[in-house]
Structure 1
Amino acid sequence: MCGLLALLSASGNAGDYVDAVERALPCMHHRGPDAAGTWHDDDAAFGFNRLSIIDIEHSHQPLRWGPEGEENRYALTFNGEIYNYVELRAELKELGYTFNTEGDGEPIVVGYHHWGADVVEHLRGMFGFVIWDTKTKTMFAARDQFGIKPLYYATTPAGTVFASEMKCILEMAEDLGLGLSLDKRAIEHYVDLQYVPEPESLHANIRRVESGSTVTLTPGGEVLNTRYFKPQFPVQQVPAGQEQQLFDRIARALEDSVEKHMRADVTVGSFLSGGIDSTAIAALAKRHNPNLLTFTTGFEREGYSEVDVAAESAEAIGVEHIVKIVSPEEYADAVPKIMWYLDNPVADPSLVPLYFVAQEARKHVKVVLSGEGADELFGGYTIYKEPLSLAPFEKIPDPLRRGLGKLSQILPEGMKGKSLLNRGSMTMEERYYGNARSFNFEQMQRVIPWAKREWDHKEITAPIYAQSQGFDPVARMQHLDLFTWMRGDILVKADKMNMANSLELRVPFLDKEVFKVAETIPYDMKISHGTTKYALRKAMEQIVPAHVLHRKKLGFPVPMRHWLAGDELYGWAQDVINESQTEDIFNKKEVLEMLKEHRDGVSDHSRRIWTVVAFMIWHGIFVEHRIDPQIEQRDYPIRL
C-alpha cells in the first residue's frame, strides 16, 4: 500500500521535472512513510512513497525489470496488493521468467510483458499502477475492478501525470502549466449525490482513471481508456434442493479470499462493527491469526453506537477488542484535516469515526481487514426490496401509472400511501439513483441558483442503467451502486481515511473470485424471508455468532441530526457558513435559513447541511487557502 506519481513527458525532457516530482511526494507521505524514491529517463519520471507490507527488505519502487537481454526495460510504480502474487509468480516461472524480488509488484510487470494489457485479468487484488515500456515508448496504467485504490491524472502542456493523490498534481500544477479552475458540473453532481462521481474531480482539468479500466498512451499522444470489468449478473435459478450447494460455494469463496488477504509480512487486524459483514471477515481471519486484534468506534449518544454489539461479537469469536469513542468536539476538530486527506469532499458523516478508528488501529497493526462491498455484491441494502413491493405497478398500463403519480402529488404530506403511489408510478431509472442523493432539484436551486436540470444525477445514472438491460431488478440496483455509491463514497472513505493513518485496509468481499459467485445469485436468494443478503447469511450460519446473523442493517449511525440542531455543532456549522468565501457557488442566506429550519424542527436538513458545510471546508483549504488542515507531517503549504 503506497503512493505513486508518474509523469510522461510530451517533449522528451522528463528530467526537467524530477525536482517537481520530489517536491510533490511529501503530499502523500502518509500513504508510504517507510521509504521514498524516484527514477527517470528522457521520457518518464516516477516517484514513490512506500508502506512496506510484503518483502519488506526488497521490492523497493520505482521497480525496474526486463527479460534476458532487455534488462530494466520496464519501470513500475504500484499502489495496492496482489493477493495471488505467489500463484502468479509460480505460473510465470513455469513460462521461463525470472524474478529479482519476493514481492507482489514484480509479477505485475512480468505479467504485462507476457500478457500485455490482459495482465489485469490475471490479477486478484486491489491496485492502481503505471508501467513505462522504454522500448515501445508506451505507458500503461490500470485500476482494480472495483476501484479500491485511486488513480488521478491530468494532461498538461508538459505531458500527462498520474498520481495516487490529487494533491500531488496540484503541487506540480505550476511546473506543468496546468490551469486550475473548478468544474461547476462536478460541483452540482457532488451536491446532488454527496460525492464526486468518477471520472470527475472538482478541478476541471484533473480526472480519475475509472474503476475496472486501463489507460494507454505514448509521449504527446492521447489518453486511451479501455474498460475491462463489465459485470454480467447472469440470470440463474437454483434448483429446488440445491440451495445448500450455493451457500457452500459462497462460504468457500469468502474463506479463500480472507486467507489470501491475510498474506503479509506484518501484523493484520480487523475492523469489527455490529453487522454481519465485518463479523464474518473477523471470524474467518481468526482462523489464520489466533491473536487477531479487532477495532471498533462509536459515540456516547445512546442509539448511535454499535460498540456493545461489536464487543459481544468479539467475545463470541474469541478476539481481543479495542474501542475508540468519538466526541462531538473531536469530530468537528478533525473535519478540516479529513477534507485535506480526501482530495475531493465526500459528505458522509461516517468518514470521521472511520478516521479515528483507523488512527487507533495503527497503534497496534499495519494492516486491517474490513467488510466493505458485501451489500453491493450480496444485496444488503433495504431499498433492494423495493422491486418486490412495487411489482404490482408493473402490470398497470403506463398512462394509468403516470396518472397515479400525478394523484400522489396532490395528496397531503404524510398521508399513508402517498410515497408508494409516487414511486410506483416511476420506472426504476427514474426513482433509484443510489444511496446518497442529498437534494432534489428544487432544493438544490435553493442553495445553488445556477444549477442546471440536465446536470442532475440522471446524467450519471442513465449510462449505467443502459448497461444493465436484461438484468433482474435487484441486479440492476446492485450494478448501479457498484459504479456510483460504492466507488464514489464507500471505497473513497475506506482508502483515504485509513491511508491518512498509514494503515492498509483490505476488503475480502471485493475479490474477483467472490464476485464470480455473488454475481450468479438469483434475486430471490438475496432478498428473501424478509431479510437482505439472505444467501450470505445462510452461508455464514456456522461462522457468524447468532446475535449478529439476522440483525437488521444499520449502516454506520452518526448523530449528525441531533448535533446540528443542538449545542454540539449548530454554532460550529453557522461559523463555517458565515466565514466561507463561496458566494459565487452557494446562496449562503438560504443555507443559513436551512440550518435554522433544521434547528427549529421544521425539516430534517442534516444531510443537506453537511453536504454544503463539507464542501465549504474543502473550499477553504484548497481554493481560498484560508483554512489550515494542520497536517503534522508537512511543514510547507501546497502551492495551488
Structure 2
Amino acid sequence: MCGIGGVVGHRHQITTQQLTALATALTHRGPDDEGIEYFPLRSTPERMVGLVHRRLAIIDLSPAGHQPMRDTEKGNWITFNGEIYNYPELKQELTALGHTFRSQSDTEVILKAYAQWGAQAPEHLRGMFAFAVWDQTREQLFLAVDRFGIKPIYYIHRNGQFAFASELRALVQAGIAPRTIEPLAIESFLAYGSVQAPLTMLAGVELMLPGHTILYDCATQATHHDAYWSPHATPSARSTKEVLLESVRHHLITDVPVALFLSGGMDSSALAILTHEIAGRMIESFSITFAEHEYAEGQYAKQIGTRFCARHHEITLHDSDLLTLMPHALDAMDQPTSDGMNVYMISKAVHDVGIKAVLSGQGGDEIFGGYSTFSNLPRMHRALHMIQSMGTPSHALLTIGTRWMDLVRRRSPLIPSRTALLLESDGSPLSIYCILRQLFGSSTRRRLLGKPADSSALTNGIPVIITQSLTRETRTLDALNATSLFELRLYLANTLLRDGDVMSMAHGLEVRVPFLDHVLLEQVWGTPMREKKDPRLPKPLLLRQVIDQMPREIYNRPKMGFTFPWELWMRDMLRPQIEEVFASTDEALWTFLNRNTCQKLWRDFLAHRKGISWARVWALYVLLSWIQRTIIAPERAAISASGAAHASPQ
C-alpha cells in the first residue's frame, strides 16, 4: 500500500517543488521509499508529465520494487497503490506470452499487463488497486481503480492541467487544488455523514468511481471515462467455501507479517476461522474494548482470538486516550466523516507493535446481507406499494396521522420520523434505501444549509449520475442483490472504505478486505435465494461455512457494529470541545450552515429530544471541525504569513 500522485500540464505549471510537495503530503502512506519522475512530452516539449510515489513495502521489499517504475521494453511508467493477489498467476501467463520480468513485485505485473492488454488490463486483475500508467508511445495517462473502490484516486482537470493523488489534501498542499468548498458536497454529507462520489468537499476535484478507468489524452487534453466492471451473478460449480478460502489465501500473500482486526462480530470471527483453516495459528489479532462494558465486545473477540490466532491483543481505550488522540484523528480526516475514529484508534495500536498489514471483515455485511436494510427495504417497498394503491385520500390521511404522532411523542420538529419520510418518497427501492440510510432528511437539510445550493444535480443527496446508474443496474436484480448493490456503491464505497483507507494509512498500515473479492461477490449473487435467507440465522450463507467452529454466542446475539460509546462521551468529557464549536461566532465557519439550526440540534440532543441521535450531532461537529482545520485555519495562516513577509524590512 502506498501513496501515488501525478500532474500533466504546461512546463510552467509543473515544478520540482510542486512534485516534492505532492510526495511529501503522502509521506504517511509510504514511509519506506520515495520516487519522483518528470519529463517533457516528445510531441510538445512545452508540456510535461510528473509522477510521484511514496512506498509502503509489503511485497518484494527489495529496491527492485521502487516506483515510479519503468517498463524498459515499452518505455511506459507506472505509479501504483494496492495489492494484486493473482499476480503470480498473471506473471506466468505474461511470461508465456513473451514478457520478461526483472523484479518479484506485483507492480511490474501491472506494467506488463498494460503492455499486453492496454485499457483492458484491469479486467485481468484480482485485488485492490489504484494506479496510473504513463503510455510513452501514445502520450496518454491511463488511470484505474479496483472494482469496489477500496483504493482511491482523486483528480482535478482545469486550466490545461490534469492532476491526481491518493488523497484530496495532497492536491491542496501541492498548490494544485484550491481550498474552495463544493456546496453540493455539504448537502451530500448532511444526508449520509460522508460525501457521495464522484463529489468531494473541494470544488473541481472528483473521486474516481469503483470499477472505472480514465484516459487522459495529452494531445487533445480530453478525458474519457469508462466502466470496466459491473457486478453480476455468476452461477458456479464451485462451493462458496472453496471461493471464500481462495480469497482469504490470496489475502495472506505478503512478505511481511499480517494481523487481523477482530471485533467479536461474525465477519471478523469468520475470517479468523478461515485463516486458521488455511495456515493454522499464523496471525495475531487486535481488538478494542472500553470501560463502558455495554459497548464492548471484548469477551467475544478474546474468545475467538485465543482459539484461532497466534496471539490476541486487547487494547482498552480510556478517556485520557481518546482526549489525546482525537485531535490527531480529526486532522487525519481527508474529508469529513461521521465514522472512522474506530479505525484510526485500532490502526494506531496495530502500527505501534510493528505490524504493516492487517485483515478486516469489511464487506461481509454487504456481500452476505447482514444489514437490517436487507429485510426492511423489501418490507417497506411492499407496504408503500399497498398504501399508494389505496389512493390519494388514504395516503394523505396517513401522512397527517404520522405528523400528529410525532408531535405527541415530543419528537424534535427538526427530525421527522422515518415513517413520515417514507410516505413522502416516490416508493422506488432506491429512494426507500436512501431514507433508511439518511442522517438528515431533505426538509432538515434545507433548514441546516445556510446557503442552499442548486441541488438539481442531486437526488436524495446523491449525484444524479449515480442514482440513474443504480436504477438501471438494479432493474433485473432480485431484492437481496439490489440491496447489496446499494450498500456496496453507497455506504461501503463512500463511508467505510474511505475511512478504512485514510485512517489506517495515517499510520502506514495496509488494510486488506478478503470479503471484497469480485469472484466471491459473483458467486454469492449467483447462489439461489433460499440459501441466502433464513429467519433463524444471520447471514446464513456465510455462517454455514464456519458454523461448526463458531461459538453460538458470536452469531446468536444482536448485531452491535464496531462503534464507540459516543452518546456517553459527548454528554460528558467531549462536551466542552463540541460546545465550543457550536457556540463559535466566527462568520466564516457558518458560510454554508445555519448557526441557529445547528445550535438547536445540539440543545435538543442535550435535552434528550426524540430523533436527535448522537450520530447526527457528531456529524455536524465533525463537518464544522473539518472546515475550521482544513479551510479556515490554513487560509488565515497564509494571509498572516503573506502580511508578515510584506511588512518585513527589505
**TM-score for both structures, normalised by structure 2:** 0.87
Task: Map 1:495-574 onto structure 2 (within 5 A).
Answer: 495-564=501-570, 566-574=571-579
* Partner residue, 1:207: 206
One-letter amino acid matched to 2:349: E
Contact 1:384–1:527 under 8 Å retained in 2: no
One-letter amino acid matched to 2:616: R
What is the Cα deviation at residue 578 of structure 1? 2.4
Q: 1:592 aligns with which of 577, 595, 599?
A: 599
Q: 1:37 aligns with which of 21, 35, 50?
A: 35
Contact 2:128–2:151 under 8 Å retained in 1: yes
Q: Which secondary structure state, in structure 1, belongs to the residue aligned with residue 405 of structure 2?
A: coil
* Aligned equivalents of 1:583, 1:392: Cα separation in 2: 42
* Partner residue, 1:241: none
What is the Cα deviation at residue 537 of structure 1? 1.1
Contact 1:130–1:141 under 8 Å retained in 2: yes
Contact 2:8–2:161 under 8 Å retained in 1: yes
Task: Map 1:43-192 onto structure 2 (within 5 A).
Answer: 43-57=48-62, 58-67=64-73, 70=74, 73-157=75-159, 159-173=161-175, 176=176, 178-192=177-191
* Partner residue, 1:446: 447
* Aligned equivalents of 2:323, 2:192: Cα separation in 1: 22
One-letter amino acid matched to 1:46: L
Q: Are 2:231 and 1:231 aligned?
A: yes
What is the Cα deviation at residue 132 of structure 1? 0.3
* Aligned equivalents of 1:628, 1:609: Cα separation in 2: 27
CA 1:120–1:218 in 2, change beyond 3 Å: closer, same or farther? same
Contact 2:388–2:395 under 8 Å retained in 1: no
Q: Are 2:332 and 1:341 aligned?
A: yes
Q: Are 2:296 and 1:305 aligned?
A: yes
One-letter amino acid matched to 2:180: S
What is the Cα deviation at residue 430 of structure 1? 2.8
One-letter amino acid matched to 1:331: L
Contact 2:267–2:361 under 8 Å retained in 1: yes
One-letter amino acid matched to 1:576: V
Q: Deviations over 1:498-548 (max 9, x none)?
A: 111111110000012211212213444333224441211112223433332
What is the Cα deviation at residue 138 of structure 1? 1.2
Q: Are 2:252 and 1:253 aligned?
A: no
One-letter amino acid matched to 2:182: D
What is the Cα deviation at residue 391 of structure 1? 6.7
* Aligned equivalents of 1:49, 1:543: Cα separation in 2: 41
What is the Cα deviation at residue 166 of structure 1? 1.3
Contact 1:48–1:61 under 8 Å retained in 2: yes
Q: Deviations over 1:194-226 (max 9, x none)?
A: 101111111111111111100101225122111
Contact 2:144–2:213 under 8 Å retained in 1: yes
* Partner residue, 1:314: 305
* Aligned equivalents of 2:70, 2:223: Cα separation in 1: 23
The farther-off stretch of 469-478 and 519-528 is: 519-528
* Aligned equivalents of 2:144, 2:55: Cα separation in 1: 19
What is the Cα deviation at residue 327 of structure 1? 3.1
CA 1:400–1:567 in 2, change beyond 3 Å: closer, same or farther? same
RMSD over equivalenced CA pairs, Å = 2.6
* Aligned equivalents of 1:552, 1:501: Cα separation in 2: 32
* Aligned equivalents of 1:517, 1:227: Cα separation in 2: 21
What is the Cα deviation at residue 157 of structure 1? 2.6
What is the Cα deviation at residue 444 of structure 1? 1.9
Contact 2:451–2:593 under 8 Å retained in 1: no
Q: 1:583 aligns with which of 580, 590, 593?
A: 590
Q: Are 2:349 and 1:356 aligned?
A: no
Contact 1:189–1:456 under 8 Å retained in 2: no
Q: Are 2:165 and 1:196 aligned?
A: no
Q: Are 2:8 and 1:4 aligned?
A: no
What is the Cα deviation at residue 401 of structure 1? 6.1
One-letter amino acid matched to 2:608: G
What is the Cα deviation at residue 281 of structure 1? 1.1
Q: 1:621 aligns with which of 619, 629, 636?
A: 629
List runs of 5+ in structure 2 lacking aligned partners. Answer: 41-47, 410-416, 638-650
* Partner residue, 2:414: none
Sequence identity of aligned pairs in percent?
26
CA 1:401–1:48 in 2, change beyond 3 Å: closer, same or farther? farther
One-letter amino acid matched to 1:356: M
Contact 2:79–2:131 under 8 Å retained in 1: yes
What is the Cα deviation at residue 420 of structure 1? 6.7
Q: Which secondary structure state, in structure 1, belongs to the residue aligned with residue 439 of structure 2?
A: coil
One-letter amino acid matched to 1:544: M
What is the Cα deviation at residue 406 of structure 1? 2.7
Contact 1:4–1:77 under 8 Å retained in 2: yes
* Partner residue, 2:399: 409
What is the Cα deviation at residue 571 of structure 1? 2.1
What is the Cα deviation at residue 340 of structure 1? 3.0
CA 1:403–1:327 in 2, change beyond 3 Å: closer, same or farther? farther
* Aligned equivalents of 1:284, 1:200: Cα separation in 2: 37
Q: Which secondary structure state, in structure 2, belongs to the residue aligned with residue 396 of structure 1?
A: helix
CA 1:504–1:395 in 2, change beyond 3 Å: closer, same or farther? closer
One-letter amino acid matched to 1:513: V
Q: 1:274 aligns with which of 258, 264, 280?
A: 264
One-letter amino acid matched to 1:428: P
One-letter amino acid matched to 1:221: Q
What is the Cα deviation at residue 325 of structure 1? 2.1
* Aligned equivalents of 1:122, 1:568: Cα separation in 2: 51
Contact 1:151–1:164 under 8 Å retained in 2: yes
Contact 1:4–1:164 under 8 Å retained in 2: yes
The farther-off stretch of 302-311 and 466-475 is: 466-475
* Aligned equivalents of 1:628, 1:316: Cα separation in 2: 54
Contact 1:620–1:627 under 8 Å retained in 2: no
The farther-off stretch of 188-197 and 20-29 is: 20-29
CA 1:48–1:170 in 2, change beyond 3 Å: closer, same or farther? same
Q: Deviations over 1:301-331 (max 9, x none)?
A: 1211111111111133254111122234433
Q: Are 2:618 and 1:610 aligned?
A: yes
* Aligned equivalents of 2:345, 2:185: Cα separation in 1: 29
* Partner residue, 1:239: none
List runs of 5+ in structure 1 lacking aligned partners. Answer: 237-244, 630-640
Contact 1:291–1:319 under 8 Å retained in 2: yes
CA 1:404–1:105 in 2, change beyond 3 Å: closer, same or farther? farther
Q: Which secondary structure state, in structure 1, belongs to the residue aligned with residue 101 of structure 2?
A: coil
Q: Which secondary structure state, in structure 1, belongs to the residue aligned with residue 590 of structure 2?
A: coil
Q: Are 2:467 and 1:476 aligned?
A: no
What is the Cα deviation at residue 385 of structure 1? 0.8
* Aligned equivalents of 2:576, 2:635: Cα separation in 1: 18
One-letter amino acid matched to 2:333: L
Contact 1:340–1:621 under 8 Å retained in 2: yes
* Aligned equivalents of 2:322, 2:392: Cα separation in 1: 45
Q: Deviations over 1:561-618 (max 9, x none)?
A: 2322x22222221112223641211222221221111111123342221111101111
What is the Cα deviation at residue 383 of structure 1? 2.0
What is the Cα deviation at residue 53 of structure 1? 0.6
* Partner residue, 1:379: 369
Q: Which secondary structure state, in structure 2, belongs to the residue aligned with residue 625 of structure 1?
A: helix
* Partner residue, 1:431: 432
CA 1:128–1:422 in 2, change beyond 3 Å: closer, same or farther? closer
Contact 1:255–1:284 under 8 Å retained in 2: yes
One-letter amino acid matched to 1:56: L
* Partner residue, 1:295: 286
Contact 2:387–2:395 under 8 Å retained in 1: no
